[in-house]
Amino acid sequence: MNQPSTSTLALQQAFAEFAASTEQLARQDEELRQAVELLRQDLAQTHSRLHEEMHRRARSEAQLGSMFASAPFGLIALAAGRVTGFNQAAAALFPDLAENTHWVLPIEWRRRGSSDEYLTERGNEARLIRVNLVKDPISGTECMRIDDITDMHRERESLERQERLASMGRLSAELAHQLRTPLCTATLYASQLREADIGAAERCAMADRLIGQLGQLDSLITRMLSFVKTRARAQEIGPIEPLVRSQIEVIIPLMALRGMKLALDLQAPDCVIAVDRLQIGSAVMALLENALQHAPQGSTISVACRSAGHRVEICVSDEGPGIAPEIASRLFEPFATGRPNGTGLGLAMARAAAQAHRGELSFTPIEPCGVRFTLALPALLQV
């Protein structure tokens, strides 16, 4: 049998290599086809997700645009201080508002109480406007929200009046109890004055005691009426420290009679407030009188005034026995007192005055003895 020639063997080997290469190329082609198919599927899924995301964003933008346009409060979009858009409510508030114009608050708007509320007039009617500005720290764009809160403010005042009137019903029994003792005593003195056999000196002493009891009744009724009528009236703008000093000047002589010392720390010389100065002055005096009544002779009463952000705080501290646990929870309620002859109206009036000015009155025990009362009020600005 003849052996294959060298050329035949080479040809067979070449053919085998060609077949192997063809098979390898076929496998690579299949792998490439599968990879392309997977990539196509991934691209289709990515495209579908992007398409859905675009539709979702479009719907969200449409909804936001609809909400922006139909919001019951004014909305103004700003960029670098220029108007880029606004809704119908803003257009109603500012008829001359236009896009691509520089935004400024109307000059006739008067700031009230805090930096975000303004008083203005519309159709011969005073209106209260609140302005809030939100800024995007990344893009630098701003959105200004403008609310007419006049009706809300009136409703709040009406609710406060209703609550105060309702509280009068609850306080009637306590007030009657407070009035009964001095009234009965005054009646007794008055009946004794009718006796014909008493001497002139004794008659004068009884008359003095009668006048004292009537004065106590008058003071109680006056303070009760002040509590009922407590609300923010005409406000004056001015620095806080002179108001505090004026009340301290009244109390210092009474402190001197008891050998008491005053520690004064006023650190808000530039703080300006808008308040009913008579009402807030009475609140500060109530805190000073409370300290005077509870602190022992020869002790120190501390008065501090400091700025705290958008508020100013007036602190009155004493070295007395502190607040009894049984009255701590109702300390600011009328007739809540730890003194036998106290009316418990001073702190109630002070808190009502603070609330009428959107402030608050609180107390903090001091170790080892004493208490600190803090009257916090909104500050207008630092001049």
| Residues in the chain, total | 383
Q: Of the candidates 330, 380, 376, 334, which has an alpha carbon nearest to the alpha carbon of residue 355?
A: 376
Residues 268 and 352 in one domain: yes
What is the CATH number for 140?
A: 3.30.450
Number of domains into which the chain is organized: 3
Domain residues for the domain of 141 are 71-148
Beta-carbon contacts of 101 under 8 Å, excluding residues fewer than 6 positions away, are 82, 83
In a domain, 331, yes or no: yes
In a domain, 265, yes or no: yes
Listed residues 70, 97, 115: the one ending a domain: 70
Residue 91: count other Cβ atoms within 10 Å of its Cβ. Answer: 14
In this predicted model, what pLDDT tens digit does every residue of 176-218 receive, in sequence order? Answer: 655 666 677 777 777 777 777 777 888 788 788 778 777 767 7
pTM of the model: 0.49
Residues 249 and 372 in one domain: yes
Q: How far is CA 210 from CA 82, 169, 184, 185, 205, in A?
A: 73, 29, 11, 8, 9
pLDDT averaged over consecutive 10-residue blocks of the chain (383 residues)? 68 79 84 87 86 76 62 84 86 86 84 74 79 76 85 81 68 58 72 76 80 72 62 74 90 88 89 85 88 91 90 93 83 68 73 88 90 91 48
Beta bridge mates, 300? 261
Residues 238 and 358 in one domain: yes
In this predicted model, what pLDDT tens digit does every residue of 11-59 receive, in sequence order? Answer: 778 788 878 888 888 888 888 888 888 888 888 888 888 888 887 777 7
Listed residues 13, 42, 70: the one ending a domain: 70
Q: What is the pLDDT at residue 382?
A: 47
Beta-carbon contacts of 142 under 8 Å, excluding residues fewer than 6 positions away, are 77, 78, 79, 133, 134, 135, 136
